[in-house]
Amino acid sequence: MPDRVLITGARAPAALDLARSFVAAGWEVHLADSCPCRMAQGAGVAKAVHRYASPRLDVQGFRNDLQFLVQRLEPALIIPVCEEVFLLAAATASLDFEARLFAPSPQVLDELHSKHRFVEVCQRLQISVPRTRRISDQAELDQVSPEAERLVFKPEYSRFGSETLIGPSASQLTQISPAADRVWVAQDRVVGNEVCFHAVAVNGVLTAFAAYRSPWRRPGGVGYAFEPLDEVAASSLLDAARRLAGLVGEGQFACDAIIDADGRPWLIECNPRGTSGLHLFGGRRELALAITGQAVGLVRGRERGHLGLAMWLYGLPEALKQNRLANWSRERREGQDVIARGGGMAPVLGALIDSVAFSIRAARAGCSLEQAMTRDIEWNGPGGAQ
């Protein structure tokens, strides 16, 4: 009987490529989430797609469902992809399957997710980061206001860059209302190329690494096309990934960075979970081997890809508006649709239905699509405003 893995966060396209990797390595894959995941069901890559209560809105229900699911499936490994990782890590210690969770400890998760504490971590590890100041009240905001045009403001716990203010004017600063349970940070603005990397740590050692950029992005910075960096740029990030792996211990982590005109990388924030960087591994078995500590050497992700549906819905209008139609066509031709990969049109149709459902949620809640996609799973720090 093959080993069994439970992958949570099935709503994310990255979960599909992670699942494909474990299937290729001979594992039985189960996916799970707190919302209907027609994309995951349509992909046909998992033996089953399960449902549990919202980790954020029904914590006890989530714990009960998780306990039942783990007792029934008896997975050898549990791998979170989205922000449910924080509540999973908190739950597994008391539910006695902590050893099966492929994620850092709750303390390390918070150190990495907090945009202020992450900077402190990097400073200890001698990794280059911009000067970052914590803003917890109006007086602290007033102190940095005179230099606002040279700063980037964002909530300490946030995602997708949906609330980020870059070099804001005085009137834009009025949008910020810092408080003890809604802390912001002000970070020195670094000019350069925005890049990312995704990494895997096992026993404190880096076992998988992919460095990339997103040439096609939604407002706020969410990418839907993924292009590997050249070797020089990738190498400039590799040392930072190795140093962070020692802190992470076990699990996935990903960082956003800016490479300045001198080729120096500056890490600006971290996501201690699965990200779109998983797509660069192409669903190959080597990623599963890296996660289970069986890979020989460092596994590198270098495959180019995109979210086909997003390329049509968002990329094509953007290409027409910015006279980038040739680039759009080249991306579709040279990069693989990571949702359709090996599954035909069924997962694409499922992704479209999921997207419509989230759009309806967004309209009802008066928020963006990206915010609607994470409202039931997001983590805003211990005691933070939910």
Q: Give DSSP secondary structure letters for 128-147.
A: ----EEEE-SHHHHHHHGGG
Three-state secondary-structure class, residue 60: helix
pLDDT value at position 383? 56
**pLDDT for 385:** 40
Q: Which two tokens stand for residue 277?
A: 């960087």
Residue appearing with tokens 């403001």: 153
CA dist 245 → 180, 205, 210, 336, 353 (Å): 31, 6, 14, 29, 37
Instruction: Indicate the burial class of 130 (C-beta count within 10 angstroms; 0-12, 13-18, 19 or more).
Output: middle
Q: Which amino acid is at 348?
A: V
Cα 230–336–225 angle (5° rounding)? Answer: 60
Domain range annotation of the chain: 1-103+345-378, 131-188, 192-340
Dihedral, CA of residue 323, residue 338, residue 369 and residue 46, to nearest 10: 170
Residues in contact with 197: Cβ distance below 8 Å, sequence separation at least 6, in sequence order: 209, 210, 211, 212, 234, 237, 241, 254, 255, 257, 277
Q: Which long-range contacts (CB under 8 A, 24 or more apart) does 69-73 make?
A: 69/6, 69/32, 70/6, 70/95, 70/97, 70/100, 73/4, 73/6, 73/30
Report the amino acid identity of residue 333: R
Residue where the block lists tokens 């609607």: 372
Q: How far apart are CA 277 and CA 41, in angstroms?
A: 22
pLDDT reported for residue 75: 96
Q: Where are the alpha helices (DSSP H) in the chain?
A: 13-24, 38-43, 59-73, 84-95, 106-113, 117-124, 138-144, 170-173, 231-248, 285-291, 308-310, 316-322, 325-334, 346-365, 369-372
- The matching CATH number, chosen from 2.60.120.620, 3.10.350.10, 3.50.50.60, 3.40.50.20, for 1-103+345-378 is 3.40.50.20
Cα separation, 273 vs 102, whole angstroms = 10
Given a contact cutoff of 8 angstroms between Cβ atoms, the answer to whether 265 and 195 are in contact is yes
d(CA 101, CA 79) in angstroms, rounded, equals: 6
Residues 336, 341, 345: CA angle, nearest 5 degrees: 110
Please state the CATH superfamily assignment of the domain spanning residues 192-340 in this structure.
Answer: ATP-grasp fold, B domain (3.30.470.20)
Q: What does the alpha-carbon distance between residue 386 and residue 382 come to, in Å, rounded to a whole number?
A: 10
User: What is the pLDDT tens value at each position of the chain, 386 positions in all?
Assistant: 679 999 999 999 999 999 999 999 999 999 999 999 999 999 999 999 999 999 999 999 999 999 999 999 999 999 999 999 999 999 887 888 889 999 999 999 999 999 999 999 999 999 999 999 999 999 999 999 999 999 999 999 988 776 889 999 988 999 899 998 899 999 999 999 999 999 999 999 999 999 999 999 987 678 999 999 999 999 999 999 999 999 999 999 999 999 999 999 999 999 999 999 999 999 999 999 999 999 999 999 999 999 999 999 999 999 999 999 999 999 999 999 999 997 788 999 999 999 999 999 989 888 888 888 888 898 888 754 44
Structure tokens at 294: 């069986």
* Distant-in-sequence, close-in-space partners of 220: CB < 8 Å, separation ≥ 6: 160, 161, 162, 164, 368, 370
